[in-house]
């Protein structure tokens, strides 16, 4: 312990502080907390009761040349990085301030330990609550004091009409037409990323804001301060990644319908556009152009000569996009090999089926690098090598027949802990493969996203929404909040 550390028995009975490599460490009993600079005007906070701090960075990209000032006093310590300052006291309560000394966000603590605070109370509520799960890790609750006048935007895509999310209760999970991207932009001048891909929920209550993860090993969030929404968004983009340049062809008209069933039907539509001198940049082959799910190739019965089809489209200046699904049918030619190599997700109980649409299927495990490479090599051989340069990565949530989130397990861990990262890894599967082939300005259409998806060229659309004016109204809030949450490429069905 350094001369700046104050042990738990020195004048005060609770935790102690340490500075190392511009990071502020706090420890009390089995809890370890690290507050560190992470980009300009930004801090990352992690806490755990595990023996060591888990190392995953999830959505965050390691910053370069970040500097912070750490000060340790007898009853509290602080870390300042540009326009943001965090103060943690001896009982572990954290409060964030801007450069004017105004409170941006503070933890909600109500207990008898905090004898120096106005909130000293017999209620006994901890801000950071890691509740052990019998036989597992922890259920996490993170509580902050809520400013009732605050407005909150972002958080991704939810099918509801509210742009200001204050007062809402949101599921931190993906479903068809719901994309949880847990970055919140506050009218108080801060941005907050819940850097945890676990299934959970957030309640932006009038009195308390509560974030929950149903199963996790650590608390992990990132917070930034700025003088404008643009400054906050820029910091967030730097922390999680920026979109590539959109290719020129992607800014033209895309022709799609449900669905072209044959090669000749699609070609005749493309030819008619040219006969009428109508602008067209992309035409789309939708789902079930393959023999079975998990066979990432053209069905030769209906698409007998894809090479000639693609060549004709390119002569017309039209790019072809094909639909990809992550589901693998038990009857498919790749199923046995993928099972043998451990490339499919698991079910914790019951028969190994995660979706039963048009066959008994299980999804490929996009969190497994070997599975990503396997699927890409199939797509490369059957699509990319033929000249296809854009993919429709459908079912990206990924969709389940039954949304029992606790019943699925991936290479990276149980779905309850890591499930929300699936669409990021799905996008990464194709982005990395296309990048390796030398392609620049990559764009692919996906039905879902999580924090960081944007850096993998993900153009997100709002899923299989209902055809009604009420649903159309919801898409305005969904699209705007998706953009605020760092997913700038977004569209919706018409």
State the catalytic residues.
394, 397, 464
CA 114 to chain centre: 35
DSSP category for residue 62:
P
Residues 145, 133: Cα–Cα separation, whole Å:
26
Residues 112, 105: Cα–Cα separation, whole Å:
21
Residues 105, 144: Cα–Cα separation, whole Å:
7
- Reported as type and span, the H/E element at residue 369 is helix 369-382
Backbone angles phi, psi at 89, to 5 degrees: -95, -175
3-state secondary structure of 57: coil
The 8 Å CB, 24+ separation contacts for 61-69 are 61/238, 61/239, 61/240, 61/241, 63/37, 63/38, 63/39, 63/238, 63/239, 66/22, 66/37, 66/38, 66/39, 66/40, 67/22, 67/37, 68/22, 68/23, 68/36, 68/37, 68/43
- DSSP state string for 78-121: EEEETTEEEEEETT--EEEEETTS-EEEEB--BSTT-TTSTT--
Residues 71, 79: Cα–Cα separation, whole Å:
6
Question: Residue 469's CB: how many other CB atoms inside 10 A?
Answer: 8
Give the CA radius of gyration of the chain.
Answer: 25
Closest CA to 460 of 396, 399, 403: 396
Give, rounded to a whole angstrom, the gap between the first and last alpha carbons of the chain: 63
15: tokens are: 């935790």
Question: Residue 471's CB: how many other CB atoms inside 10 A?
Answer: 17
CB-based contact 274:316 (threshold 8 Å):
yes
Residues 83, 129: Cα–Cα separation, whole Å:
28
CB-based contact 246:443 (threshold 8 Å):
yes
422-436 vs 369-382: helix crossing angle, rounded to 10? 50
């Amino acid at each position: 312990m350094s001369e700046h550390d104050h042990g738990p028995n020195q004048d005060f009975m609770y935790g102690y502080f340490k500075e190392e490599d511009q990071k502020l460490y706090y420890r009390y009993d089995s809890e370890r907390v690290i507050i560190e600079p992470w980009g300009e005007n930004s801090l990352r906070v992690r806490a755990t009761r595990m023996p060591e701090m888990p190392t995953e960075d999830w959505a965050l990209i390691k910053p370069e040349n970040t500097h912070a000032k750490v000060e340790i006093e007898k009853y509290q310590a602080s870390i300042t990085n540009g326009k943001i300052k965090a103060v943690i006291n001896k009982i572990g309560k954290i409060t964030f301030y801007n450069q004017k000394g105004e409170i941006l966000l503070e933890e909600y603590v109500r207990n008898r330990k905090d004898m120096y605070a106005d909130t000293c109370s017999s209620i006994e509520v901890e801000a950071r609550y890691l509740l052990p799960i019998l036989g597992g890790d922890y259920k996490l609750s993170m509580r902050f004091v809520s400013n009732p006048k605050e407005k909150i935007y972002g958080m991704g895509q939810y099918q509801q009409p509210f742009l200001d999310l204050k007062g809402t209760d949101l599921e931190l999970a993906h479903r068809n037409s719901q994309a949880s991207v847990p970055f919140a932009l506050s009218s108080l001048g801060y941005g907050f990323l819940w850097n945890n891909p676990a299934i959970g929920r957030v309640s932006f209550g009038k009195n308390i804001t509560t974030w929950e993860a149903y199963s996790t090993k650590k608390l992990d969030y990132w917070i930034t301060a700025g003088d404008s929404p643009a400054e906050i968004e820029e910091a967030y983009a730097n922390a999680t990644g920026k979109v590539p340049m959109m290719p020129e062809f992607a800014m033209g008209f895309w022709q799609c319908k449900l669905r072209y069933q044959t090669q000749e039907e699609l070609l005749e539509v493309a030819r008619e556009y040219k006969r009428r001198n109508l602008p067209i940049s992309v035409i789309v082959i939708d789902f079930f152009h393959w023999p079975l799910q998990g066979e990432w190739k053209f069905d030769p019965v209906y698409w007998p000569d894809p090479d000639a089809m693609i060549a004709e489209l390119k002569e017309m200046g039209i790019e072809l996009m094909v639909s990809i699904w992550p589901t693998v049918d038990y009857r498919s030619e790749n199923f046995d090999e993928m099972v043998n190599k451990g490339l499919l997700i698991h079910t914790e109980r019951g028969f190994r089926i995660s979706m039963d649409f048009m066959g008994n299927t299980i999804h490929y495990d996009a969190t497994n690098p070997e599975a990503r490479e396997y699927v890409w090599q199939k797509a490369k051989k059957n699509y990319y090598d033929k000249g296809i340069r854009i993919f429709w990565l459908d079912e990206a949530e990924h969709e389940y027949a039954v949304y029992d989130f606790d019943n699925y397990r991936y290479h990276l861990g149980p779905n309850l802990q890591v499930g929300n990262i699936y669409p990021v890894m799905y996008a990464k599967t194709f982005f990395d493969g296309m990048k390796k082939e030398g392609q620049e300005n990559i764009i692919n259409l996906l039905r879902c996203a999580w924090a960081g998806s944007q850096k993998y060229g993900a153009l997100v659309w709002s899923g299989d929404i209902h055809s009604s004016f009420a649903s159309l109204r919801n898409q305005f809030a969904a699209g705007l909040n998706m953009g605020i949450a760092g997913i700038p490429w977004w569209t919706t069905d018409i």
